[in-house]
Structure 1
């Protein structure tokens, strides 16, 4: 490779011939696939990070080079907002998708941007404060499916049902990690398109799968986005957080990337990681207003396994004892849930940020009321009803 990119030296990057030829091949593949004799929509999984930004850049550029008569296939650029994203990151996603949409309309490109979000009934706070789900960890990561996979998968499925098939472009690369390489290899059929392992009618296209990290940074540093502006804001975001984005997740095989041990942009409430190094990076860089968010997140971690804060029964009314004889506590007690909500509202006042919606609060109170009524009518349990966790 040419000179390795330091995030502080974006203007001092050299790109060698191998890198140039790699991008020429990617651009040729994109063009060839777009010109196939069908009009199945493209969906670009966009997280706002470097890899998905590169795929979006290349696809947008390809559309601009085509004559209007050949721009027959719609391209959906789909991001996800879990509603508890790191504030700077979600603002970057909103700003960049707005820029892309505005430019697409100005150039007459068939580009549609979409930000998917979980339904209020499945939001982080409704599940944790309302239903009492304990703070997510590696063994009970209830958040990924509800907040990331389902909203985006629902959008993809709706397009596939209408068009008959869709092509999902993902910015995954083999060199990201051994886990990613294994995941790519597991579903690689040797062809350009691979069937999605969960979504029917969805083919997956990984145009930058063979690039390494230096390739990505070099391109973004030397090429301004075709929708205007520059990639320097993205580069600064990485530098300030020393992080990487939580990718768009459309299947459980991708889920380990969410809340991994590496420092990634993601939910500020994420308790799957031991430390939120990206948010810590923002605070250390001068965004001190995020310090209270870190403290609150650490408190959620600290109360998770406090048995005094957990109910004996699970939400279905049963008691769980493993085959080894270990008692597994149920959800947070109503008292603890009430305390979490009170502290969250205080955090809103302290930071001046809206962290929970009124709709979520109303749903939480409805769940509490129903639960109180259920417990009031609860009957004693027999030993036969004790649930064994296999």
Structure 2
């Protein structure tokens, strides 16, 4: 009798040919040769995760094995903090950079850590709460470029401008995904120097990936067998990954059927590009001491609404109405929604400070600089001169708002808003239009030349003259139809007719 046994894939290790010690020794020697080959500065990408930690350890080991007079070229270690990272991971990385800097100075190694953050105007909360951008989606992924790519690219470009070239050392691995493997293989074909691939988006920047052929298990084997040389604990790193795994386990891998540890992905706790934040949910589930993160998970889930039309304006950011399948395409969050998100964020911050462990008692989910920029956007660009942010802050935090006064930007104030609401009632569109018209007029009043006044007034009226969303949709349909036909020679422009700037009159009417 023949039995068909299940076929299990053979898992290959990067240590198979030379053994663990031989492979590590060869990689260290290879890294030393590349380091000594030229004067091009190195930039090591460090996230605090397992892959970047393994790469940084290899670089450290390579530098430590060189004579002091050979350690001339600086090695910059950059870590990008999006300001919405998982707080546990963010604290881990920040402390790791401090320990790394101290150890490098003691050992005389030219390693220089840098914590990079996005510009205030690019942060997550400034764009979502300040400008009203909806929570990121795969088709509107506005966050990655602003939060992660721009800060690191700016640093690397500075290196290239100063030195003409830079070598980026990354922990990217082909085993991470088939897409990653395909991209790395394609870039390998364009190599002009051994082991250094071109960067797809940064000119004069080469990429060195020392662990490109390592598997997930290879990374953990290295981290567990070689202690962290700058004094941080790789076992604590393993524990952090273990806590972020749904089953709470990181088993010993004995065959291909055994699940591996370290598949968890740490990222922004606000991320709505995934269905759910499995790592944060697992941390809360597996560790009672992490329950203080529950308000973050709840807020993230509130942001991740499948249909958020009720939270957003039916007009686009510039006030126009665009249609898709006969419906208006929703624009930014309304003022009410933006104020609600800010209130929820500040309440979560206050709750964590009161109920969390000691190391989060001074946690800032949103910085004062971000609050100041949000306030400026609301008052100056969105003409919300009632200036509700300070009162929202004081109600949620229970402390006076720490920002500076904005009197010079508020020719009108809350009293004017109260009068407007009494006169206009619940008509939100007309209230916003009149408020903007008043604000525009007041801002131009003190100018010697009131250039641009009429254009600004016209924009305000174009944005707010609709009766409601149904009226705006109907007008957009009329405008679309008007643009698709050619008028007769003596006929008014159909777009002017659709916009209401020109009206038809009876032929016999008196003019």
* TM-score, normalised by the number of residues in structure 1: 0.86
**Aligned residue in 2 for 1:106:** 106
Q: How far is 1:263 from its partner?
A: 4.1
What's the CA shift string for 1:260-315, capped at 9, x where partnerless? xx74101111111111011011101221111111011101112x632121111111
Task: Give 3-state SS (helix, strand or coil) of 1:217's partner.
Answer: helix
**Aligned residue in 2 for 1:203:** 206
Structure 2 counterpart of 1:379, from 440, 461, 464: 461
1:365 matched to 2:365: no
**Aligned residue in 1 for 2:215:** 212
**Aligned residue in 1 for 2:509:** none
Mapping for residues 157-306 of structure 1, pairs under 5 Å: 157-189=157-189, 191-242=194-245, 263-286=264-287, 287-302=290-305, 305-306=307-308
**Aligned residue in 2 for 1:125:** 125
Task: Give 3-state SS (helix, strand or coil) of 1:380's partner.
Answer: helix
Aligned-residue CA RMSD in angstroms? Answer: 2.2
Q: 1:25 to 1:307 in 2, by over 3 A?
A: same
2:244–2:283 CA contact under 8 A, matched in 1: yes
Unaligned runs of 5+ residues in structure 1 are 5-13, 244-261
**Aligned residue in 2 for 1:339:** 340
Q: For residues 140 and 229 of structure 1, what CA distance do their matches in structure 2 show?
A: 38
**Aligned residue in 1 for 2:75:** 75
Task: Give 3-state SS (helix, strand or coil) of 2:197's partner.
Answer: strand
Q: For residues 331 and 41 of structure 1, what CA distance do their matches in structure 2 show?
A: 43
1:263–1:276 CA contact under 8 A, matched in 2: no
**Aligned residue in 2 for 1:321:** 323
Q: How far is 1:379 from its partner?
A: 2.7
Q: For residues 136 and 179 of structure 2, what CA distance do their matches in structure 1 show?
A: 21
Q: For residues 315 and 206 of structure 1, what CA distance do their matches in structure 2 show?
A: 42
Q: How far is 1:32 from its partner?
A: 1.1
Q: 1:15 to 1:97 in 2, by over 3 A?
A: farther
**Aligned residue in 2 for 1:349:** 350
Q: How far is 1:108 from its partner?
A: 1.0
**Aligned residue in 2 for 1:50:** 50
Q: For residues 167 and 202 of structure 1, what CA distance do their matches in structure 2 show?
A: 6
1:15–1:218 CA contact under 8 A, matched in 2: no
**Aligned residue in 1 for 2:36:** 35
Q: For residues 17 and 280 of structure 2, what CA distance do their matches in structure 1 show?
A: 35
Q: How far is 1:363 from its partner?
A: 1.1
2:52–2:170 CA contact under 8 A, matched in 1: yes
Task: Give 3-state SS (helix, strand or coil) of 1:113's partner.
Answer: strand
**Aligned residue in 1 for 2:497:** none
Q: Identify the structure with bigger relative contact order (alpha carbons < 8 Å, sequence gap 6+).
A: 1
What's the CA shift string for 1:341-385, capped at 9, x where partnerless? 111111111111321112211211211122137952423377597
Q: How far is 1:230 from its partner?
A: 2.9
**Aligned residue in 1 for 2:148:** 148
Q: How far is 1:16 from its partner?
A: 8.4
Q: For residues 318 and 152 of structure 1, what CA distance do their matches in structure 2 show?
A: 35
**Aligned residue in 2 for 1:252:** none
Alignment: residue pair count: 354
Q: 1:230 to 1:267 in 2, by over 3 A?
A: same
Q: How far is 1:71 from its partner?
A: 0.6
Task: Give 3-state SS (helix, strand or coil) of 2:43's partner.
Answer: strand
Q: How far is 1:130 from its partner?
A: 0.4
Q: How far is 1:29 from its partner?
A: 1.8
* TM-score, normalised by the number of residues in structure 2: 0.66
What's the CA shift string for 1:166-204, capped at 9, x where partnerless? 000010111111121122122122541122111122111
1:50–1:216 CA contact under 8 A, matched in 2: yes
Q: How far is 1:147 from its partner?
A: 0.4
Q: How far is 1:229 from its partner?
A: 4.0
**Aligned residue in 2 for 1:310:** 312
Task: Give 3-state SS (helix, strand or coil) of 1:187's partner.
Answer: helix
Q: How far is 1:119 from its partner?
A: 0.9
Task: State the structure with more CA Rg.
Answer: 2
Q: For residues 176 and 326 of structure 1, what CA distance do their matches in structure 2 show?
A: 41
1:318–1:385 CA contact under 8 A, matched in 2: no
